Structure 1
Amino acid sequence: MLQNPERGVNVGLSDWPASERPREKLLRNGARSLTDGELLAVLLGHGTANEDALELSHRLLHACGDLSRVLTASPVALKQAPGLGPARIARIKAALETGRRHLEAPEPHRSALSAPEDAVRYFRARLADLPHEVFSCLFLDTRHRLIRYEELFRGTVDGAAVYPREVLKRALHHNAAAVIFGHNHPLG
């Protein structure tokens, strides 16, 4: 909460000028115009009795390190943060899953994966928070548009066995013209 020097009291986000409130800023300028803290504040919806949504979001970002770690933290870890109950934890998890599903949704007008960075972003969204190793594939058509994402092999925290024959079978099954492999390292 911001201290209002004229009144000597704390004020919430609703008392801020409309041009500075995260939700209104998002609606006016788009989500990309927000900082990570502002975006998380919109997702959280409101603060607590002692702090507004923006302060709560900044505290979470500081505790976790960055927005990606807030979104991928386990519900058990998030529950340790004061001000986060089941509803807010569910909102955070739902936001992450909504983004994932958007990335994998088959769309005939979806743009091609035209650069390595496109594949990196896709795999990062799918694999970043997994506690075990995964070998996965993006199956692409002749224009490098996504046909399907599949997690082909799942391993332990430090290894995953990969069988080339199975990868080839899945590529042929999808009639894929190209395949991009993805693999994570949960231990860093």
Structure 2
Amino acid sequence: MAITDWPISERPREKLLQKGVASLSDAELLAIFLRTGITGKSAIDLARELLSHFGSLTNIFAAGHASFCQLPGMGSAKYAQLQAVLEMARRALGEELKNGSALNSPDLVRNYLRLSLANKHHEVFIGIFLNTQHHVIATEELFSGTLTQTSVYPREIIKRTLYHNAAALIFAHNHPSGTAEPSHADKTLTHDLKQVLAMIDVKVLDHFIVANGTTLSFAEHGLI
């Protein structure tokens, strides 16, 4: 049955307008994005197939071009639209983050990092440089590596910190093949960076690990 044959109150677009976006399921949100179905399948059917195939919205956003386009009803145009939506959300969060204190917006920082790292298939190490009021000066991808590891060089971090004249830093990296639990190496690195940066009077406020749609904060777990 086509969505246009459903009762008006059950159609995703009308439901959103009447009850708000939070009332929609993941499949209903995807259906609005997809707009139309294909022969024998509604947009909702296609949305459910996407979720079933990839497992979650996070995995759909992280899907590569080839794997996304191999599914019925998908293609380069839909993939480009999806990536544009993701980038607009990332930029909007980045703008909001720059306008406020990072310490007063931990959920905003978490969401920004989740969107920034969700589609990375290799490890990357990010630095968020802050001024004395903990407003964001810049966000940089400092290092990148393989699926399971990346090399981080404190000397380069110090150089970028001095370049931005930053007073504080938030670090983040992803675990593409694992969970958001910190390894012994992650804890040691964070401790070493905190000590090194303290020598130039710069504070390390937090270190986030992003994996499988979840985010762990070192500060919230008493690890920093």
TM-score category (smaller protein): 0.7 to 0.9
Residue 163 (structure 2) pairs with residue 173 (structure 1): yes
Distance apart, 1:174 and its partner CA: 2.1
Give 1:82's match in structure 2, choosing from 72, 91, 95. 72
Which residue identity is paired with 2:30? L
Partner of 1:138 in structure 2?
128
Deviations 1:89-116 (A, max 9, x none): 2222221122122222367644544365
- Supply the distance in 1 between the matched residues of 2:24 and 2:63 (Cα, whole angstroms): 21
Alpha-carbon RMSD across the aligned residues, in angstroms, is 2.0
- Supply the distance in 2 between the matched residues of 1:45 and 1:113 (Cα, whole angstroms): 39
Give 2:173's match in structure 1, choosing from 176, 179, 183. 183
- Bigger CA drift: 21-30 or 45-54? 21-30
Partner of 1:6 in structure 2?
none
**Percent identical residues:** 47
Three-state SS of the structure 2 residue aligned to 1:105 is helix
Task: Provide the TM-score with structure 1 as the length reference.
Answer: 0.84
Deviations 1:150-183 (A, max 9, x none): 1011112222111112212222222322210001
Give 2:87's match in structure 1, choosing from 86, 97, 115. 97
Residue pairs, 1:87-166, within 5 angstroms: 87-105=77-95, 109-110=99-100, 112-114=102-104, 116-166=106-156
- Supply the distance in 1 between the matched residues of 2:12 and 2:100 (Cα, whole angstroms): 30
Evaluate the alpha carbon distance shift between residue 80 and residue 112 of structure 1 in structure 2; reply closer, same or farther with a 3 A threshold. Answer: same
Structure 1 residue ranges without an equivalent (≥5): 1-10
Partner of 1:8 in structure 2?
none
Distance apart, 1:54 and its partner CA: 0.9
- Supply the distance in 1 between the matched residues of 2:131 and 2:164 (Cα, whole angstroms): 9
Three-state SS of the structure 1 residue aligned to 2:119 is coil
- Supply the distance in 2 between the matched residues of 1:107 and 1:132 (Cα, whole angstroms): 25
Partner of 2:212 in structure 1?
none
